[in-house]
Amino acid sequence: MKNIARIVFYFFIFLFQGNTTHAQDPYIFNHDRYSGISTVGISPTQSYFNPNRWDFHLFSNGIFVQNRYGYISKSSLFGLTKGEIRESDIEQNITGENTKKVWDYFNFDETGYHFSNELMGPSFSYNFEIGDRFFTAGFFTKLRTQSSIIEVDNYLQFTNQEIDEPILYNLDPFKANFMNWTELGFNFATRIFPYAPQQWIIGANFKYLMGNDAFYVNNRQPALLRREQHEILDPTNPGQTRKVLFASDFDVEVGYATGYNFEKEAYEYQTMGTGFGADVGISMVNYNGNDEDYDFKLSANILDIGSVKFDGFVHEFIGNNFQYTHNPALEDIDFESVEQYAQIISQEIYGDENRSLISNDFTIGLPTSLHVNASKNIAENTYINADIIQRTPVFQNSLKRSNILHLSYLFNTHKWAYGGALSLVEYKYLRAGAFLRYGPLVIGSENFLPIFIPHQKLKGADFYIGLKIYPFRNRDMERRSRKPCKC
């Protein structure tokens, strides 16, 4: 388990250094008037404020990870490219507290993680007029992945510290889930209340969802974990014992679906489930007379309303006294599929390999959230912005995104823009970000300090880059008027 966790963390870290990734949610860029179709997943009305008649997004990929399980000591991301990363060894007094570039553990009583990746493919939007009314319509494509455990008892802290588990340990209920899915989306925005002194804009994304892979674990009641010492039946070493772990009073539901072909040992991209989703938003904008710069903008958005229904397997494990270490039924077996593993556990608990299977379909909800942002003009083409993103899961087995409080400064013109930001992930982990756009090229980071500056406990960082196509000349004929009324 320790090796698997370490490998996964290294994988995340190396992805952060890539040149083709951008942050999962580039909130500074979201307030750039020229972000267009690229950021409608954060604010569906944002495409309406693009002064360009049309906007074409070529490609971007974003990744975000946070965890409270492990870290690399006294290093930066650039520092990881030089020298070996060692694992902590308490017997040799090699730990993250006293040695550089060591993989070590936080060992909190509770742990958790959040991972998300968003690949946005070719997408476009177009601004047009019907009579004296202005509209924006667009289409976008995405491949998204999310997984999280918000809080779970950190039972692995004992193994990580190389000490024996308690004889009895109560594991509290928890939920974990994962989904990999494709989105085909349509964006639409327009002005309402045409005679109001402010501009009121409504926007929405309507999304067709194709689920590729998913799993969930629902530990529905406290489980008792028990440690025992069993004698090893070895005539050559009499009196030798080993630690054996058991679970009792457990009630766990597990569901999964995957496109991986276990017979061919290859992944096959295919649709394992379908569903529908939506994002809706409304913005109120107050302009300074006839200036294109607005004075104040306030926006409220509900994101990722929807779910995907999968065709897969759902197992229920209820019982007592299940031996999950040194169990002969689980050792030295070449598992051919996840279902085979579930059947063996079912046989151990119920005496019937098929009894645990209770359904062949399940639902995973999208990571529904509420996003409120405010933007104030403080000088020509210069703004300060505030964003609050609060997860609000409402569907069965919903994915859960991170809570974020974000403050930023932005200067933007047609040709270039830049900004800086501070954010609190889960309202307590401070991050510093920066952003630069020159024409269609966007680079930046929502957490850039770990890239260059060694941290005592390196948990991750991010970097984003985006490429768009839109008119390089800002001619009046290519812009919509920003007058308070369309006179």
pLDDT digits (tens, 9 = 90+) for 202-260: 999 999 999 999 999 999 999 999 999 987 766 667 767 889 999 999 999 999 999 99
The confidence score (pLDDT) of residue 174 equals: 93
User: What global pTM score does this model have?
Assistant: 0.85
The CA distance from 122 to 57, in Å, is 6
The confidence score (pLDDT) of residue 236 equals: 67
- The values of phi and psi at residue 440, to 5°, are -90, -5
With residue 388 as reference, give the H or E element that holds it. Answer: strand 382-391
The confidence score (pLDDT) of residue 296 equals: 94
The CA distance from 295 to 101, in Å, is 48
Rounded to a whole number, what is the distance in angstroms from the first to the last CA of the chain?
Answer: 66
Q: Where are the domains of the chain?
A: 2-411+435-474
374 Cβ partners below 8 Å, 6+ apart? Answer: 296, 297, 298, 299, 385, 386
480 Cβ partners below 8 Å, 6+ apart? Answer: 51, 127, 129, 134
The confidence score (pLDDT) of residue 188 equals: 98
Residue ranges, the chain, pLDDT below 50:
1-24, 475-487
pLDDT digits (tens, 9 = 90+) for 65-120: 778 888 889 988 778 778 788 889 888 899 988 999 998 999 899 998 888 888 89
DSSP 415-466: SEEEEEEEEEETTTEEEEEEEEEETTEEEEESS-HHHHS-EEEE-----EEE
